[in-house]
Amino acid sequence: MYQPHHVIILVFILGICLGSFLNVVITRLPVMLMNQWRREARSALELTMEPVTRFNLLLPASLCPRCEHPIAWHDNLPLIGWIKRRGRCTHCQGRISLQYPLIELGGGLLALAVLLLHGISVSSLFIYAACLVLLALSAIDFRTYLLPDILTLPLLWAGLLYQLLFQPYMISDAVIGAMGGYLVLWSFFWLFKLMTGKEGMGYGDFKLLAALGAWLGWSFLPLLLILSAGLGALIGVTAQTLHPHLRGTPLPFGPFLAIAGWLCLLMGNELLALYLSVAG
């Protein structure tokens, strides 16, 4: 869809700003969950509770991950701040992870993709929000091998709400898609475990595919699995070939589900038609 240049620029700027907030979620949410689990474990074991330091998505202010020196506001501007600092802390000169500009850029590019493919509408905002959650989940899974329920479950319910509001004729397909998405990977999990004695994936993957099934409907499940498994195999084999020390290292499946989800959310009808024509 054609959009004026000023709209494109504004949407991209808003996207990288939301990407900057996603970096906070990606780095802090796993720590917040770990702190919560530790407190719950100590409470269950009737151990003395540790002193609680305020740590959430707002506090403390942005710090260097190495020396914990506060980051000035002008050094924290999306993309610009990282480029201005040349990827290093101004205080200790330690390297700042490439994750930060990549997630910010990802937020901007996803915003542009939604704008150009779906236009400006309330339904587009829903789709973009889903894309951002997928971006956060893929980065968290890549860093920690976690797909937190606090993100996957709201994503699932938001998918059902999206269908109810904008495609009510799809609600039964969405419910079946959520059920089928969970059951398919749950079945693979137990089949693999019975055959090998090992766990091939985590329960978060089941919930993520269930969420995508809610957003897209049951008919997209085969395409989602083919895309995610194909990408996972390709990238996994390539990485292990180029870096032999990675052989035997577990590969998180969430990022590949997220990529498949983005493709289907943004260009679903075209991809499904192509898949059906090839399969037929």
Specify the pLDDT at position 274.
85
Specify the pLDDT at position 19.
97
Is residue 103 in a domain?
Answer: yes
Specify the pLDDT at position 236.
87
What range does the domain containing 30 cover? 1-120
Please tell me whether residues 186 and 111 are part of one structural domain: no
Sign of the CA dihedral with 242 first, then 204, 255, and 269 last: positive
The residue type at 132: L
Q: For the chain, what is the mean pLDDT?
A: 91
Is residue 271 in a domain?
Answer: yes
Is residue 238 in a domain?
Answer: yes
Please tell me whether residues 280 and 153 are part of one structural domain: yes
In whole angstroms, how far apart are CA 252 and each of 143, 145, 201, 270? Answer: 9, 6, 8, 28
- Here the tokens at position 122 are 């309330």
Please tell me whether residues 17 and 70 are part of one structural domain: yes
Specify the pLDDT at position 155.
98
Contacts of 139 (CB under 8 A, 6+ apart): 22, 26, 99, 103, 255
Is residue 131 in a domain?
Answer: no
Decide: 14 and 79 in contact? Cβ < 8 Å: no
Q: Which residues of the chain register pLDDT less than 50? A: none
Please tell me whether residues 169 and 257 are part of one structural domain: yes
Q: Could you report the per-residue pLDDT of 137-158, keeping only the tens digit for each?
A: 999 999 999 999 999 999 999 9
Specify the pLDDT at position 210.
98
In whole angstroms, how far apart are CA 227 and each of 9, 10, 68, 121? Answer: 31, 32, 40, 28
Nearest to 19 by CA among 137, 105, 139, 124: 105
Is residue 1 in a domain?
Answer: yes
Contacts of 200 (CB under 8 A, 6+ apart): 188, 189, 192, 193
Question: Domain tally for the chain?
Answer: 2
Please tell me whether residues 209 and 86 are part of one structural domain: no
Specify the pLDDT at position 280.
65
Q: Could you report the per-residue pLDDT of 66-120, keeping only the tens digit for each?
A: 887 888 877 788 999 899 888 888 888 888 899 999 999 999 999 999 999 999 9
Please tell me whether residues 157 and 263 are part of one structural domain: yes
Please tell me whether residues 61 and 114 are part of one structural domain: yes
Please tell me whether residues 173 and 268 are part of one structural domain: yes
Is residue 221 in a domain?
Answer: yes
Please tell me whether residues 110 and 227 are part of one structural domain: no
Please tell me whether residues 185 and 230 are part of one structural domain: yes
In whole angstroms, how far apart are CA 51 and each of 46, 48, 264? Answer: 15, 9, 46
Strand partners, 88: 95
Specify the pLDDT at position 123.
97
Whole-number Å distance between alpha carbons of 133 and 108: 14
